[in-house]
Structures are given as C-alpha cells and as structure tokens.
C-alpha cells in the first residue's frame, strides 16, 4: 500500500486537529510553505507592486511577477496570458461581463449539465441582457456526460460560446474537454473551461488545449483564498471589453479621457492580492515538488478504496463517473436525507459536504435533493477513509 506520510506531514492542520477532513472540493488545507510565504511577505516584503522606484517595491514586484511565470510554466502558457482575479467566480464573471459585443439575440450559449452555479448563473445573466439562448449538454442517469450527444449538439447548434467544467465539483467527473473544445472550435465558438476543481488533481496543458479561456481558484489547489486566474489564449483577451477601471490598468489619464494598457494589464485594476499571489507561488512549488509527482497513483488508489468500501454497504447509491474522476465521491444512503447522514457524520468529526453543492439543476436531473460528498486530496490517508466508513456505519445504525 502506498503511503503519503511525507505529504501529510507538510500540513500543520493535521497535527493540530482531530477532524477527518474530506471536503477538499470546497477548499484544501495549506502546506507549511504556503503559510510561511504569507507570513514572510508581511514580515519582510510588504510593499505595493508595479509602483515606486524603491528597491523594496521592485523586489516585491519581482516576487509577485515570478508567481505569474510559475503558473504560466505550470500550465504551459506565457505569463502575459494570465490575469489575476480573486477566484474562479470572478474570472468567469470577468469574461461574461466583457463579452456582450460578440453575443447577438438568438445566439446560442452552451454549458454542461454538470456546471457549478458559478459557471451557469453568469451565463444566464448574459442571455437575459443579450437575448441569447442557453442550452445544456446532456448527462445520463448516473450523472455522466453523454459525449456523443454533446458533440452532436455543439456541431448542429453552432453556439457562439461554449463554457464547460473540466471536472464536476458535485460528482468528480473529469469531462473530455479536449473533444468538447475541438468541437466548439470547429464551429468557431468562443470557449471557456472552468478548472476550479481540476487544477488540484490534473495538470492541464493549456498550450495544446485550444480553449480561449481557462479559470481557476488558488484556494482549491493548496493556495490562499482570494486569488484566482483567468488564463487566455494570446489573441483571446482582445475579445473582451474593459472590465474594471482605475489605477494600475491605465497608460495615460487626463480629465477628459484615459488610455488603457494593453494585454493582461488592462484587466488588473487596483492593488491586487499581493500576499495571496505570493502564497500561491509556494502552493505551485508544492504541487510541482518531487513528493507530489509520486502522489497521483496514491490518490487514484485511495479513491478506488473509498468506492470499494462504500459499495460494500447495502443501500448506498453512488453518483457520477467512477472511471474518470478527480477523487470525489457523491452518494446517498437509501432514501435518507443527506442532511441527516451528514449531521451524524459531523458528530464523529468527519468533515464532508452535503447538499446540492451549488449544482441545483444537476441534482434535479439526478432526481435527488442533494448528496453527501467526500472529496479526497493528496494528504488523506487510508485511516481517514476507515474512520469515515466506521462513522457512516454508525450513522446508518442510528437511522435504520
């Protein structure tokens, strides 16, 4: 059996807490190096970026910009393709609120049935504003995307824009985004991929992926909250109108008019989350460390183990794609309410998510009010799963 002791020991949370943390889809714990980077920044390097000639400010600016390069390398893009945001939600909203001029009445916008509300509600708003129509790529009863129907739908509807998630937060499914994006590009659609869940577990090559936009949140990949990114193809940022205006994003300003900077700088108005970005840099180092490279197969076997253990319990229904999965298990027990099960699990100190997971339409399609979700990460142990299964059996005993 593979073990992950070296990884787990880098997370101080686990030496201070008795909680069994299985809610990594919501946010991950932070390794010591991220916590240290945040403290170190405020202790020694605090200055604003991109302004001032002081050595202090230029040093901090360099540290900050180095993280952009790190993320660029991580995703196989150039630094100037990255716009910092406060998270995946803001990155999606940035695109949605700046793209009106490309959308006409009766145009079609396509999302999948697996989208988080963050990659659904903003598009609904865009449709309201522009008179475009939202269409949804179908899933089967298990919650797996029907890929043939989806590809057909894209080529026959010829949507103006396709926005799909790389991995489902509710079910963990990894979507075949390469195929979906290629189909969308065949009909000249603008594309966006929501990588909020995928980035912790997968390392997408955004050079070969042909999508205009890809979004992520640092806090779901071991970094601090309040940082995210919009990653665009070199020509794709030009599709977008200016988002927010103010300091930092301007070239020249007079009282009568202003000229904006070009490229990614045009979308970064105001003082950014400097500490957060620097902390994210440490998270990227962690993700690319030797120990983490060995971790992928560990996560996969831990996921298989979790599934096996759950399947042994009579009355458990599992949802989602159990083949292509980031390590997220969504289930219900008989027709018990997910809240009852989750409340009892909580009494045993098991931290899971229960509810609709910000995917209400998906839950409606699956015919459930919600599910209980166990989302694994690299630092979870077999013992965590055993404790969870023990607590679940105890909960079931109380409910039966």
Name the site residues for other proteins (rule: CB under 8 A): 336-340, 343-344, 347, 354-355, 369-370, 394, 398-399
Do the beta carbons of residue 98 and residue 243 sit within 8 Å? yes
**Total of residues contacting ligand PLP (CB under 6 A):** 12
Q: How far is the CB of 343 from other proteins (least distance, A)?
A: 5
Binding partner at 258 among ligand PLP, other proteins, none, C-beta below 5 to 8 Å by kind: none
328 neighbors 380 (Cβ within 8 angstroms): no
**CA 163 – CA 111 distance, rounded (Å):** 5
Give the x-and-dash track for 349-378 against ligand PLP (CB under 6 A).
Answer: ------------------------------
Choice from 200, 217, 295, 309 touching ligand PLP (CB under 6 A)? 217
CA–CA dist 37, 274 (Å, integer): 11
Per-residue H/E/C for 167-221:
ECCCCCEECCHHHHHHHHHHCCCEEEEECCCHHHCCCCCCCCCCCCEEEEEHHHH
Contact status: 119 vs ligand PLP (CB under 6 A): yes
Closest approach of ligand PLP to the CB of residue 209, in Å: 17
Report long-range pairs for 286-292 (Cβ below 8 Å, ≥24 apart).
286/10, 286/31, 286/33, 286/34, 286/222, 287/74, 287/203, 287/221, 287/222, 288/74, 291/6, 291/7, 292/7, 292/378
We find the least distance from the C-beta atom of residue 140 to ligand PLP, in angstroms, to be 20
When asked if residue 196 is in the footprint of ligand PLP (CB under 6 A), the reply is yes
Residues contacting 98, CB < 8 A, separation 6+: 240, 241, 242, 243
* Residue 345: both structure tokens together: 């699990």
| Shortest separation between residue 363's beta carbon and other proteins, angstroms | 12
Judged by CB under 6 A, which stretch of 13-21, 41-49, 113-121, 326-334 contacts ligand PLP?
A: 113-121
Taking CB under 6 A as the rule, does residue 118 contact ligand PLP? Answer: yes
Nearest CA-CA partner of 34 in 312, 226, 318: 226
Q: Is 94 in the site for ligand PLP (CB under 6 A)?
A: no
* Closest to other proteins by CB, 2 or 398: 398
Active site residues: 358
Q: Which is nearer to ligand PLP, 33 or 229 (CB)?
A: 229
In angstroms, what is the minimal distance from the CB of 214 to ligand PLP?
12
Rule CB under 6 A: which residues touch ligand PLP? Answer: 87-89, 116, 118-119, 165, 169, 194, 196-197, 217
């Amino acid at each position: 059996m593979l073990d992950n002791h070296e990884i787990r020991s880098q997370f101080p949370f686990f030496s201070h807490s008795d909680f069994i943390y299985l809610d990594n889809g919501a946010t991950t714990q932070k390794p010591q190096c991220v916590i240290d980077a945040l403290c170190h920044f405020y202790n020694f390097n605090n200055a604003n970026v991109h302004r001032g000639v002081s050595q202090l400010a230029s040093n901090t600016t360099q540290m900050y910009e180095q993280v952009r390069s790190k993320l660029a390398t991580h995703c196989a893009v150039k630094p100037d393709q990255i716009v910092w945001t406060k998270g995946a939600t803001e990155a999606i909203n940035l695109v949605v609120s700046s793209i009106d001029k490309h959308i006409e009445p009766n145009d079609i916008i396509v999302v999948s049935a697996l989208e988080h509300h963050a990659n659904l509600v903003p598009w609904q708003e865009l449709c309201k504003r522009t008179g475009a129509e939202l269409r949804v790529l179908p899933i089967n009863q298990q919650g797996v995307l029907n890929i043939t129907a989806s590809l057909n739908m894209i080529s026959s509807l010829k949507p103006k824009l396709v926005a799909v998630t790389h991995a489902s937060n509710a079910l963990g499914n990894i979507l075949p985004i390469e195929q979906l994006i290629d189909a969308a590009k065949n009909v000249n659609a603008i594309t966006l991929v929501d990588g909020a869940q995928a980035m912790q577990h997968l390392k997408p090559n955004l050079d070969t992926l042909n999508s205009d936009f890809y979004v992520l949140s640092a806090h779901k990949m071991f970094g601090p909250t309040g940082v995210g990114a919009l990653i665009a193809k070199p020509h794709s940022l030009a599709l977008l109108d200016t988002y927010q205006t103010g300091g930092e994003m301007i070239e020249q300003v007079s009282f009568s008019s202003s000229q904006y900077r070009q490229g990614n700088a045009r979308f970064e108005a105001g003082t950014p989350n400097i500490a957060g970005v620097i902390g994210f840099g440490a998270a990227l180092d962690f993700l690319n460390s030797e120990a983490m490279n060995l971790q992928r197969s560990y996560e996969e076997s831990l996921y298989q183990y979790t599934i096996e253990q759950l399947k042994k319990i009579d009355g458990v229904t599992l949802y989602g794609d159990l083949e292509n999965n980031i390590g997220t298990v969504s289930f219900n027990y008989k027709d018990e309410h997910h809240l009852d099960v989750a409340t009892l699990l909580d009494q045993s100190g098991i931290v899971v998510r229960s509810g609709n997971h910000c995917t209400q339409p998906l839950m409606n399609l699956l015919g459930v009010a919600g599910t209980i979700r166990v989302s694994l990460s690299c630092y979870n142990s077999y013992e965590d799963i055993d404790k969870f299964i023990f607590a679940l059996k105890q909960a079931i005993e109380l409910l039966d």
